[in-house]
Structure 1
Amino acid sequence: MAEYRIDDLARAAGTSVRNVRVYQDRELLAPPIRRGRTAIYGDAHLSRLRLILNMLDRGYAFAQIKEMLDAWQSGHSLADVLGLEQATGAAGSHEQPAVVPMNELVRMFGTQLTPANIRRALDLGVLERRGAHFVAPSPKLLDAGYELVKLDVPLSEALALAAELQKETDRVTAMLVGLVRKYVLDPKGDDWLPSGDELPVFADVISRLHPLVMSALSAAVDRSARRMIPQVMGDRLIAMAERVRAERGE
């Protein structure tokens, strides 16, 4: 499980330290674990914080958010049955962050690991700073960048691609989740909050979203790769085939 100090938590969620403290004061966010004088937050805090920010963006007031969170934590509590973080797909279904020492980054990217590229990676969330080391929230994404650089793609271009991928993936994910919201939740009314009897149904809807998004995007990317690799590289493949035939005297 990842661990965050308050500034790391705020940065990962895209908000400010001041806001994190406000949400704690309003009892929307659970207090951190204390290690001496250090406050430590975990993945559950990050998931809850993102949920709070999403609800605020949707126009919910603090009182409404607290009412919903309190409902989840009572009687037929979603937190008790599934866990709020599990229901939103934040627990057990994502990559585990990996600590990446500076010397490992130098080994991977060599002289292209410039201060500007490091700042860009931090801004994009490809890397996070933890003391003397860095953390890769998605080791697969970091490895993809490494493979591109090994193929002689400039690191700056790989980072620009990472930004575009995140933008487009966020857009498509929002469209998919928006369809569920539009046809499943919105018909119940803007002020609808799940009652105790409705919580199991609501929990079921939310718990299906993460695997649904993952399945749809994975299938779409696989189909796209099968189409686009031959399309983009086709002329090179044909030229290579013709050269082989010429060398064989065919």
Structure 2
Amino acid sequence: MAEYRIDELARAAGTSVRNVRVYQDRELLEPPVRRGRTAIYGDGHLSRLRLVLNMLDRGYAFAQIKEMLDAWRRGHSLADVLGLEEATGAAWSHEAPAVVPMRELVRMFGTQLTPANIRRALDLGILERRGAQFVAPSPRLLQAGHELVRLDVPLAEALALAAELQSETDRITGLLVGVVRKYVLDPKGADWLPSGEELPHYADVISRLHPLVMSALSAAVDRSARRVIPEIMGDRLIALAERAAERPPLEP
């Protein structure tokens, strides 16, 4: 589980330290864990903060947000409460963020690990800075970049590809989630909020979105890879096969 100081939490959620303190004072955020004089926040705080920010962006007042969360607490177990909070994404992450020392980044990317490429990786969220350290929120994504560089793809090109992939993935995810919102939530009206009795159903709807998106995208990418790789690389594979056939047999 990731840990954040208050400034890191605010930066990860795209808000300010002042706002975090305001939401905490309004009891929209749980108190942090104290380690001496340092306040430590976790993934649950980040997902709750993102939920609060999303609701504020949609025009809900502090009192409405608190009423909704309080109603959820009154009617359901702690596990259910966390289920609502984590519906923004924290509970669905199948990867644990990993600390990546600078020496490891140098080992992976060598002289291509320029200040410009590091800044680009930070801008894309492939790396995050935690004090003097770097953290990879998705170690698999970082490893994919490493594999591309090992295949002689320039790191700058791999980072440009990562930006394009993220943009396309966001677009497709938006299409999938938008269909559910259109037919499940929007017919209720823009100002609608579920009652205490309805909360379990609609929390379940939200909790099923991430597995649905993951399943659909994984299946689509697998089918695409099976089709596109031979289409793009087929001529090279044929040439290699022909070259291999031309080689004289080894003498016994």
TM-score by length of 2: 0.90
Report the 3-state secondary structure (helix = DSSP H, G, I; strand = E; otherwise coil) of the residue aligned with 2:34.
strand
Q: Bigger CA drift: 217-226 or 26-35?
A: 26-35
CA drift at 1:19: 2.7
The answer to whether the Cα contact below 8 Å between 1:176 and 1:213 also exists between their aligned partners in 2 is yes
The answer to whether the Cα contact below 8 Å between 1:12 and 1:125 also exists between their aligned partners in 2 is no
State whether structure 2 residue 23 is matched by structure 1 residue 2.
no
1:29 aligns with 29
2:75 aligns with 75
State whether structure 2 residue 54 is matched by structure 1 residue 54.
yes
Q: Bigger CA drift: 230-239 or 38-47?
A: 230-239
1:38 aligns with 38
CA drift at 1:227: 1.4
Partner AA of 1:145 in structure 2: G
CA drift at 1:42: 0.4
1:142 aligns with 142
For structure 2, list consecutive stretches of 5 or more residues without a partner in the other structure: none
1:110 aligns with 110
How many matched pairs?
A: 249
The answer to whether the Cα contact below 8 Å between 2:95 and 2:138 also exists between their aligned partners in 1 is yes
CA drift at 1:86: 4.0
TM-score by length of 1: 0.91
Change (3 A) 1:175 1:47: same
Change (3 A) 1:55 1:78: farther
CA drift at 1:217: 0.9
The answer to whether the Cα contact below 8 Å between 2:92 and 2:210 also exists between their aligned partners in 1 is no
State whether structure 2 residue 94 is matched by structure 1 residue 94.
yes
Change (3 A) 1:190 1:92: closer
For 1:213 and 1:51, how far apart are their aligned partners in 2? 19
Partner AA of 2:113 in structure 1: L
The answer to whether the Cα contact below 8 Å between 1:76 and 1:197 also exists between their aligned partners in 2 is no
CA drift at 1:21: 2.5
For 1:248 and 1:68, how far apart are their aligned partners in 2? 76
Partner AA of 1:146 in structure 2: H
The answer to whether the Cα contact below 8 Å between 1:149 and 1:155 also exists between their aligned partners in 2 is yes
Q: Bigger CA drift: 20-29 or 202-211?
A: 20-29
State whether structure 2 residue 207 is matched by structure 1 residue 230.
no
CA drift at 1:100: 1.0
Partner AA of 2:83 in structure 1: G
Q: Bigger CA drift: 103-112 or 54-63?
A: 54-63
For 1:169 and 1:54, how far apart are their aligned partners in 2? 20
For 2:135 and 2:125, how far apart are their aligned partners in 1? 10
State percent identity of aligned pairs: 85
Q: What CA deviation, in whole Å up to 9, does each residue of 1:86-111 have, x standing for no partner?
A: 44452264210111111111111111
State whether structure 2 residue 173 is matched by structure 1 residue 191.
no
For 2:194 and 2:52, how far apart are their aligned partners in 1? 16
State whether structure 2 residue 171 is matched by structure 1 residue 171.
yes
For 2:13 and 2:89, how far apart are their aligned partners in 1? 16
Partner AA of 1:217 in structure 2: L
Partner AA of 2:44 in structure 1: A
For structure 1, list consecutive stretches of 5 or more residues without a partner in the other structure: none
Q: Kindly indicate whether structure 1 or structure 2 has the higher relative contact order, using CA contacts under 8 Å at least 6 residues apart.
A: 1
Partner AA of 2:16 in structure 1: S
Q: What CA deviation, in whole Å up to 9, does each residue of 1:118-170 have, x standing for no partner?
A: 11111111111122321111110011011111111111111111111111111
RMSD: 2.1
State whether structure 2 residue 211 is matched by structure 1 residue 211.
yes
